[in-house]
Structures are given as C-alpha cells and as structure tokens.
A and B are shown apart, each in its own frame.
Chain A
Amino acid sequence: AQSVTQLDSQVPVFEEAPVELRCNYSSSVSVYLFWYVQYPNQGLQLLLKYLSGSTLVKGINGFEAEFNKSQTSFHLRKPSVHISDTAEYFCAVYFGNEKLTFGTGTRLTIIP
C-alpha cells in the first residue's frame, strides 16, 4: 500500500540550531512530493515541492528538502531555526492517483 511516514511526531530544537524533519514514502511509481506547514489555528501553507529536476529543492522561510529516490525519502532541513518556525509540518505525496496523501505530521518546537 502507498503510504507516507513521518517517524518523529515531535522535534524540540534550540533556537539557531539546525533541524531535519524526516519523511519517507512507500511506492514503486513516480511520485511528487510536498512539505506543508500549519501554524496554530490556521490552514496549511506550502513550503516547497518536488515535481522533477534537481533533487534539492529550496522553499520559503529558509527551508530546503532533498529527494532521494533510492531511499524513498524527502527530508526537510533548515540550517538555523527561529522561534517563528514553531508549527506542525506535514509531508505529502501524490502517488499518481491525483489524491494528496499526507504524513501524520511533525510538531516542531523551538526552545529559546
């Protein structure tokens, strides 16, 4: 079955430290990959996406992600986090059926 896994439900990080949020998917077909952020009491906002081309994708707010086909991963990274990055982050995948499948989310908490 096609699925999206975000193993870390919560990630605490000190302010100005780097962070990596992990996302893995299971599929043998071509996929399209997304990261969304959800701030408290708000909807989702697109951070970045991979459709094709360079496997390193840069997004908004200083985030980037790398598509690794062999490891079926699309981890999100930021070299230095800020208090305002506190939010929930969702990895999402199109498996070719045009239905966006989301991971269970990772709550990022920034420690001052």
Chain B
Amino acid sequence: QSVLTQPPSVSGAPGQRVTISCTGSSSNIGADYDVHWYQQLPGTAPKLLIYRNTNRPSGVPDRFSGSKSGTSASLAITGLQAEDEADYYCQSYDSSLSGSRVFGGGTKLTVL
C-alpha cells in the first residue's frame, strides 16, 4: 500500500476533462509539502508533468494543471487526447518516514 492513494484507473473520451486525485495525510500533503506529478508512457521512463503543486515544466501543454487542498492534490487534464493515455503518479515528501520521498500507486488513464 502506497503512502499516497490514487485511483487505479480513470477514463475519458477525446476532448473531455478528467481529474486524478492523490490523497495523503498530515505527515505529507497535509503538512503543506509540495506535490509533483509524473506521466509515464508505456515502456518509457517517467516524465515530470507538474512540480510544486501547480507549475508546469517547459514544454508541458497547459491542458495539464495541478492543485492542492488539505491532505489531497489533483491533476486535471482538459481536451483529452489519445497520446495522453499513460500512467500518472503523484509524489511528495513524508516527514514520518525519516524524510522519505513517497509516490502514489499510480493511475492508468484510458482514452476511450
């Protein structure tokens, strides 16, 4: 079981908006530690998608956005495209685990 909880799967039709949640606790997200999001296309390494809750690295489309509130964070993808089909992971810092970096279990996005 991962320290951060994500839904195993989400799906949406092209053009639609989907959100992926990431639920933590008072020792990570709830302690106001930053949340980051990664996209992993099949057979490739993860790619940083959102850093420090809401920021997009250069080259990431503005269709991807992040938010955080309380003990949870969310990744939203608007204007869904076929190439968005991938696994998505959230990541944060946990103070109860000797300062460990923790990941969510991952969410498989299927574009219908």
B is a partner of A: no
Q: Taking beta carbons and an 8 Å cutoff, which residues of B are in contact with A? A: none
